[in-house]
């Protein structure tokens, strides 16, 4: 079994989502003997933005980077993403990665009946961090709602959010939100059984 672990927080060691994504991956490593983990830090090792020269393949280096990211995504059974809310959405580094794995003919296609996701059979666990409090379905949430939409579009309906929110309210809020989030991490195998 292969797990792809991505982080996108710009806050380094002070990051809520990095702490949570690491805890989720550690839980999977404990539960699944022989689990292969690929890690990419999209903050320190970002993909280039999807410009015209990248899209057309004129920029061969950027194209190769995107192809490698796509291959890494396609072979993964489980994807764990550390995804903070930045300006109500996701960090642009995470968006740049998504732009490279959301590719017609590879991870989705249009049919006469509408769009069809092709990246099926994967599980996605998002470590979500938010300064404010939004809950499950706020109209101001373009972070979790976006991730659910885009990965659902690609065929991944098994999406779980491990959420720490209100972390900017006060140090105590942050501590409590992290504790709640850690306690909400599910056992991988019990859940899969």
Ligand X SMILES: Cc1cc2nc3c(=O)[nH]c(=O)nc-3n(C[C@H](O)[C@H](O)[C@H](O)COP(=O)(O)O)c2cc1C
Q: Write down the least CB distance from residue 78 to ligand X, Å.
A: 20
Nearer to ligand X among residue 84 and residue 188 (C-beta): 84
- Three-state DSSP state, 64: helix
Which is nearer to ligand X, 17 or 76 (by Cβ)?
17
* Residues sharing a CB contact under 8 Å with residue 67, sequence separation 6 or more, in sequence order: none
> What's the rounded Cα separation, in Å, for the pair 174 and 16?
9
- C-beta closer to ligand X: residue 142 or 153: 142
State which H helix or E strand residue 188 sits in: helix 188-192
Binding stretches for ligand X (CB under 6 A): 9, 11, 15-18, 84-88, 129-132, 167-168
Tell me how far, at minimum, the Cβ of 18 lies from ligand X, in Å: 6
Find the shortest distance in angstroms from Cβ 10 to ligand X.
6
Comparison of 17 and 107: residue with beta carbon closer to ligand X: 17
> What is the C-alpha to C-alpha distance for residues 91 and 178, in angstroms, rounded to an integer?
20
Q: How far is the CB of 150 from ligand X (least distance, A)?
A: 18
Q: How far is the CB of 44 from ligand X (least distance, A)?
A: 13
Query: How many Cβ atoms sit within 10 Å of the Cβ of residue 159?
Result: 17
94 vs 119 by CB, closer to ligand X: 94
């Amino acid at each position: 079994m292969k797990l792809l672990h991505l982080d996108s927080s710009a806050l380094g060691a002070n990051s809520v989502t990095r702490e949570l994504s690491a805890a989720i991956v550690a839980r999977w490593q404990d539960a699944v003997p022989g689990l292969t983990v690929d890690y990419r830090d999209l903050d320190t090792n970002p993909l280039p933005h999807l410009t015209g020269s990248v899209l057309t393949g004129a920029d061969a280096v950027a194209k190769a980077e995107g192809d490698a990211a796509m291959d890494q995504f396609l072979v993964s059974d489980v994807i764990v993403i550390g995804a903070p809310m930045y300006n109500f959405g996701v960090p642009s580094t995470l968006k740049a990665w998504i732009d490279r794995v959301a590719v017609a003919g590879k991870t989705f296609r249009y049919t006469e009946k509408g769009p069809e996701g092709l990246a099926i059979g994967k599980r996605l666990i998002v470590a979500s961090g938010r300064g404010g409090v939004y809950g499950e379905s706020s109209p101001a949430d373009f972070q979790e709602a976006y991730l659910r939409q885009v990965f659902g579009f690609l065929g991944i309906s098994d999406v779980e959010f491990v959420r720490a929110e209100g972390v900017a309210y006060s140090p105590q809020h942050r501590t409590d939100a992290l504790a709640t989030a850690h306690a909400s991490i599910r056992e991988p195998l019990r859940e899969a059984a």
